[in-house]
Structure formats: C-alpha cells, structure tokens
Amino acid sequence: MAEVRAEMVANVWKVLVSEGDTVEDGDTLVILESMKMEIPVITEDDGVVVQLKVAEGDVVQEGDLIAVIE
C-alpha cells in the first residue's frame, strides 16, 4: 500500500482517476494548482486506487493525503 500526499498548499485543479482505477508508476492522479503553476501528482507505484481523498476545487495542505494505491 502506498500513500500519495500533497507536497505543498494547493488547489485541486483536476482529478484524473477514480477509486477502483488501475494505475501504473508514472501515471498522473491529480493536477494541483498553486501560485499559477500546475503541479501533476504522480504515483510511483503500480496498483489500484483504493482511496481518493480529494475532489476538484478542494484546497490541500502540505502533507495532506491525496490517494492510497494498493
């Protein structure tokens, strides 16, 4: 199981996966936006998205859980 967390305070601009989706190392899960910059959040593991904790428009803090890949 791998947890994907936010590296900075940001707005969730796009959510590209849903719970239950199969993902591979390098896939973009969500795109955050902070200070006019798009920051893709990428999984470093292969697996299934078992938890997705954010929705488009949410504000995440540094360290917040975005998704769990199993």
Partner 1 sequence: MVERSKGVHDVFESVLVANRGEIARRIIRTVQRMGLRAVAVYSEADADLPFVKEADEAILLGPANPAQSYLDAGKVLEAARASGAQAVHPGYGFFSENAEFARAVIGAGLVWIGPSPESIEQMGDKINARNLMEVAGVPVAAGTREPVTDVEKAVAAAAEIGYPVMVKTAGGGGGIGMGVAHDEAGLAKAFETAARAAARFGGNGEGPAILLERYIERARHVEVQILGLADGTVVALGERDCSVQRRHQKVVEETPSPGISPELRERMLAAAVRAGEAVGYRGAGTVECLVDADKQDFVFLEMNTRLQVEHPVTELVTGIDLVEQQLRIAAGEKTDVAAAVNGHAIEFRVYAEDPKRFFPGPGKIDVWSEPSGEGVRVDSGYAEGTTVTPFYDPLMAKLCVFGQTRAEALDRAREAVAAFRIEGPKNNLPFCAELLENPEFATGDYDTGLVARMRS
State how far the Cα of 36 lies from the Cα of 22, in Å rounded to an integer: 30
Selected binder of partner 1 within 9, 21, 51, 65 (CB under 8 A): 9
Instruction: Name the burial class of residue 57, with classes exposed (0-12), middle (13-18) and buried (19+) by CB atoms within 10 angstroms of its CB.
Output: exposed
Q: Does residue 59 interact with partner 1 by CB under 8 A?
A: yes
Q: Does residue 11 interact with partner 1 by CB under 8 A?
A: yes
Is-contact 6 34, C-beta < 8 A? no
Supply the Cα-derived Rg of the chain in whole angstroms.
11
Q: Does residue 1 interact with partner 1 by CB under 8 A?
A: no
Residue 34 or 51: which CB sits closer to partner 1?
A: 34
Stretch that binds partner 1, among 21-29, 30-38, 43-51 (CB under 8 A): 30-38
Where on the chain is the footprint of partner 1 (CB under 8 A)?
7-11, 33-37, 39, 59
